[in-house]
Every structure is written in C-alpha cells, then in structure tokens.
Amino acid sequence: MCGIVGYVGERKAVPIILEGLKRLEYRGYDSAGLAVYCDDQTLGIRRASGKLRNLEEAIRLDPVEGSFGIGHTRWATHGRPTEENAHPHRDCTGDIVVVHNGIVENYLALKDQLTAEGHRFTTETDTEVIAHLVEKCSDKPLEDAVRCAVKQLSGVFALAVLSRKHPNKIVAARLGPPLVVGLGDHEFFVASDVPALLNHTRDMVFMNDGDIAILTPEGVRFTDFDGRTLKRATQRILWDPLMAEKGGYKHFMLKEIFEQPRAVRDTTLGRVGQGSGRIFLDEVDITPKQFQAFKSVRILACGTSWHAALAGKFMIERLARIPVEVDYGSEFRYRNPIVSSHELTVVISQSGETADTLAAQREAKQKGSPTLAICNVVGSMITREAKGAIYTHAGPEIGVASTKAFTCQLTALFLLAMYLGQTRGHLDEAESQRLVQELLRVPGKLETVLSHDSVYEELGRKLHRATDFLFLGRGVHFPIALEGALKLKEISYIHAEGYPAGEMKHGPNALIDEKLPVVILAARDTTREDSRTLYEKTVSNIQEVKAREGIVVAIVCEGDNEASRVADHVIQIPTTDDLLLPILEIVPLQLLAYHIAVRRGCDVDQPRNLAKSVTVE
C-alpha cells in the first residue's frame, strides 16, 4: 500500500521526489523518507514519521541535494510507523538503500539466516532484509545484485534500489504491487502510480510481474529476473496533470464527488449508439457467440467495488436473464470455488492492482473461466490478465474513499448488462433505446443532485454528533445502503451498518431509539409496477422506524408525497430507470458522509488506518 518515487536525470532530485510523494500520499501516510546520491559521493537519507510535511520539515532543517534518488511514503504492515521503520532502508555498510511496497513473507527466515552470517538489523520491518540480500551480491553490477536478492523473496513486492557504488542508476523490480516507469528527455522516473509523474511526462511503461527496470540518464532497460532482455510497450497517458490537483476544492474527495457527472459521461460516450440503442464494447476480446454460450456470470471485487458488483447482479439478471454470483475477492480462492469454462468472471478494481481481486481472477482463470475487467487504469495488471476490459474513465482518484470510481463502475456494469441482454436476445431495440436515453440523461441529473450540496451540509450539521447510523434499502438499492454506510464509517469513524430493509425485524429494530439516524433509500421508478411494490414496503419500514422514535432520513424521488410525509429529513433526487437510480442515490450519501466528517474534524482524504490501493493481502 506504500508509494514509491525514483528519479534519474540532470535536475535536482529532491523537489521531484517530494512532489511525486505528495501525489502518492493517498497510498500511505504513516511515515516518509528519501535517499539521494550527493555531490560528495555519499547517500543523503532523510526520514520522518507521520505525514509527508514532517519529512519536508526535516529536509528544510537539514538540506540534502542530489541528481538521482528514491523516495517512499509508507502504510505500515511490518513494524510501527516510526522514523526508525520509515523507508529507505539500508544495508550494514550504508552503501545500499531500498524502498519497498508489499510484504516479504519469508523475511523472518531470511533475517535469521542473515544474522547468522553477521548482518546487523536495526528496524522491525520486512523490507530491511532486501537491502542486506542486495549487499551480499554487491560485488556484481547493481541489477545483478537485485536479481540475486529478489529470487530469494517469497511474497509480493515492488521495490527500487540505489547504491553509492553505482552512481546514476536506479534498479526497480516488480512482483505484485504496481510500478510504472516514466520516460522523459534525458531523465527517467519510476513510481507506484501515474499521478506521481504526470507533471514531468505522459509516456509511461507499466511493468509486468517478474520485470526489472534499470534506469540511467542514458535510458531504461527491462529484463526478467534471470537477466533476459525484455521489450515493453510505451503508453501515452492522456490525463491532464491538473486532474490530480484539488481544483479549488477543500479536499480531493469533494472535488471527486463533483467530477461524477463528467466521469459518468466519459465512461458512457463511445459505447452507446444513441439512435439504435446498441452497446459497443470494443476493448473486450470475447465474441458475441461466446457471450451467448455463457451459462452464468460471477463478479469478483473488494470493498466499494464489491458493492458495485452487488448492484451489477441486479442489472445483469434483469436485463440479460442470466444467473449472477458475487464474491469477495479476498475470500474467493480459499473455498475451492466451483468454476467452469461456461462461466464469465468479471473482476472489478479501481486501480487494477488490488491483490485479493487479482488472486481471485487468477483462480478463476486457472479453473477455465474467461475473465473481463472493469477498471480505471489502462495497462494495470488485472486488465492485462483479462480477455478484455471496460475502462471507467474516472481519471485519477486521489481520495482514499472511492466516489467517482464507484459511480463509473455502476455505469460500466449497466453497459455490460445491456450488452449481455442484447447479445443473448433478451433486450429488444425499443427497450435498448429507452435505456440508453435514460443513461445519457444521468450526468445532467447528477448535476442536479450536486446543486443541492447546501442541503447535505445542513443535514451533516444536525447529525454529526450521532454515534451510530443505520442504512436501509431494498432490491438494487440495498447495495447503495451498504456503500453509504461504508462511506460514513471510512471518513467520519462513526459506526454504521447497511441492511436490507426487509431484514429489520430480524435484528436491526433492536437498535432503534431516538438517537439513531436511519437513512432509508426510498427512491423509485414510477413507470415500473415492481418498483411500486418495493416502495410501499419501504414506506412501511419508515413507519416502523418512526414507531420506535428513530430519526428518519429518506432518499426519495422528486414529487414523492408518501415517504416525505413520514420522514424527519428528506433528500430528493430526479427520477430515472430503477437500475440507474443507484448512481443518483449514492451522491447524497457521499456528501452527507463528507460534511459529517468535516464537522467532526476528520481527515477525509486520508482516513486513519486505510490506504487507496490494497496491493497486499
């Protein structure tokens, strides 16, 4: 979950590394550090516990300069978040330094072996063993020493290494967590994620598992762990660097919430025929005949993406009439799942590097199931291992709590559901045209929802002292109840639960009293009779909460008269098709969570104990 930045070139390295680390601080913010090769041929190392500003202050008080170096922002796995445990880590001689993202699973055995050989350890981390393993082979070229070291590691890792004895060279290696190499003009970069490099280059090479990159001012070479030369394609990243800035908003999370109309529009455009209603998935290498032959669909995801997957189940089953199972990526392979070649496996990950989801994808592939990725990052590992991808065009998402990535995932799942329905003959042209028109109206309706931010802010002011929340929904709205609860607990640290509204009598009713806010998703598609039935049952749930003196916050569609008469607080959203309502419903819940967290003085962009990309299990 850590962030890595490296630079080789003619400019001063420290400002470039610090800038990159700022853009990666969402990946970890327990501690930070950097190391640069100085003019006096020493390695200048500065580290600090806590957030990146503490490292900046340490450098201000004790400056260091150099033209190549590596930096790191940490999310602790092994060892407390102290300065001592902050990266970079050194070997015994102090000539070799390493920054690392991942987990070395056999580090204790390696540490015992190295200690017996005379190596001295000073930290609690697993990373330190890597520096000592490189030191053992330090009589070789640095890239050969790194190859020797990584072959002894079990687990997952992305790392960057530099040595005092090998000026103007950084060696990076990947097995699991992401690494991207940036190509500049006589300067080269390595980082954990694209935003760290966008101010300097848009030409990127995404490293594969088993790759080693050797960066010098003359260029970049790629090899495998055995030293065989590799060719890797360069990709042009079209994100505007300003997309990774706050753009005048107080927090990245708020900016990203307000970017959702644009993100949903970008995810839709180019994939729908406005006249015909046809869906085009040109980046998917699965034929219509293969789609027709599938007997079931399985969706694998974690966290917020799992909630999107659960909503996707309702979309696909209704529009394509094919059974859908939803699994947690973190649990899937541990139950020896029954998978067949007649099953399509859809994997969802914002980063495309989520370790649990990637492992689940590989399990499904091994058992014969073709996989399809829904992802926000072009060239990420999950997309490379899939038969194709539906890319969500959300742009960089910096806030740890996912917002625009979630609504784009819902959009992508709706497109997939329509495509399956059309391919399998369950969605005719007239219905396809209607659904496409509804989808194209969603961005404008999101702008309407966002225009009422003052309503959510005022509600946050009234409810921010609550210690517990309950979120309820039925049908396709239940996953949004789960996601609303997750957003609130992630950034405000208030205990919150999402529940199917029909399960209230089976436990949650015991929690309701005059202090408990209960958020009930009561929006409905007025054109569907089954939506009317669910709505009536949901209004009954509101009555149950009021009978127990609970505080009801109802999300309803414009013009609603029944739920609005009973609820204490009402949030209105525009009407749309029932399967698209989740995209509109979640936005008020995101903003409610945001305003409550701000009122409580929480760090909404970097909530405690969490990181953006979960690249280790």
Query: CA–CA separation, 71 vs 17, rounded Å?
Result: 6
One-letter identity of residue 552? V
Helix (H) or strand (E) holding 121: none
**Secondary structure tally for the chain: helices H, strands E:** 19, 25
Question: Looking at residue 380, what is its pLDDT?
Answer: 84
Helix/strand/coil (H/E/C) assignment for every residue in 84-116: CCCCCEECCCCCEEEEEEEEECCHHHHHHHHHH
| Interaxial angle between packed helices 478-492 and 303-320, expressed in degrees from 0 to 180 and rounded to the nearest 10 | 170
Letter for the amino acid at 338? I
Structure tokens that stand for 65 in this block: 């300069």
Taking residues 198-225, report their average pLDDT: 96
* pLDDT value at residue 617: 58
3-state class of 69 per DSSP? strand
Is residue 174 within 8 Å of residue 155, measured between CB atoms?
no
**Residue 248: which region, alpha, beta or left (left: phi > 0; alpha: psi -120 to 50)?**
left
CA atoms within 13 A on the CB side of 403: 33
H-state helical runs in 297-343: 303-320, 329-332
356-401: per-residue pLDDT in tens?
999 999 999 999 999 999 998 877 889 999 999 999 988 778 888 9
* Coil vs helix vs strand at 72: strand
Is the pLDDT score of 572 beyond 90? Answer: yes
DSSP per residue, 550-610: -EEEEEEETT--HHHHH-SEEEEE----TTTHHHHHHHHHHHHHHHHHHHTT--SSS-TT-
- For 27, 401, 598, the CA distances from 52, given in Å and listed in that order, are 12, 19, 21
> pLDDT (tens digit, 9 = 90+) per residue, 475-487?
999 999 999 999 9
DSSP-derived 3-state class of residue 260: helix
The residues, ordered by sequence, that sit 6+ positions from 421 with a Cβ below 8 Å of its Cβ are 319, 320, 321, 427, 432
Q: What is the pTM of this model?
A: 0.77
Phi, psi of 608 (to 5 degrees): -60, 145
3-state secondary structure at position 509: helix
**pLDDT digit string, tens, across residues 168-192:** 999 999 998 889 999 999 999 999 9
Distance (Å, whole) CA 492 – CA 488: 6
Contact 99, 160 (CB under 8 A): yes
* Torsion 466-470-473-478 (CA) sign: positive
Domain ranges of the chain: 3-243, 452-606
Token pair for residue 174?
């990947």
- CA pair distance 562, 556, nearest whole angstrom: 10
Distance CA 367, CA 327 (A): 16
Q: Tell me which CATH code domain 452-606 carries.
A: 3.40.50.10490
Q: Is the pLDDT of residue 613 over 80?
A: no
- The answer to whether 408 and 587 are in contact (CB under 8 A) is no
Catalytic residue numbers read: 2, 612
Question: What are 284-305's pLDDT values in tens digits?
Answer: 989 999 999 999 999 999 999 9
pLDDT band at 611 (very low <50, low <70, confident <90, very high): low
* Average confidence score pLDDT of the chain: 92
Q: What is the pLDDT of residues 500-526, one digit of tens each?
A: 988 888 887 888 888 999 999 999 877
Reported as type and span, the H/E element at residue 164 is: none
Q: Strand pairing of 203-206 and 235-236?
A: antiparallel
Give the pLDDT mean for 12-32: 89
- Was domain 3-243 assigned CATH 3.60.20.10? yes
Q: How many CB atoms lie within 10 A of CB 290?
A: 15
Residue 29 has pLDDT above 80, yes or no: no
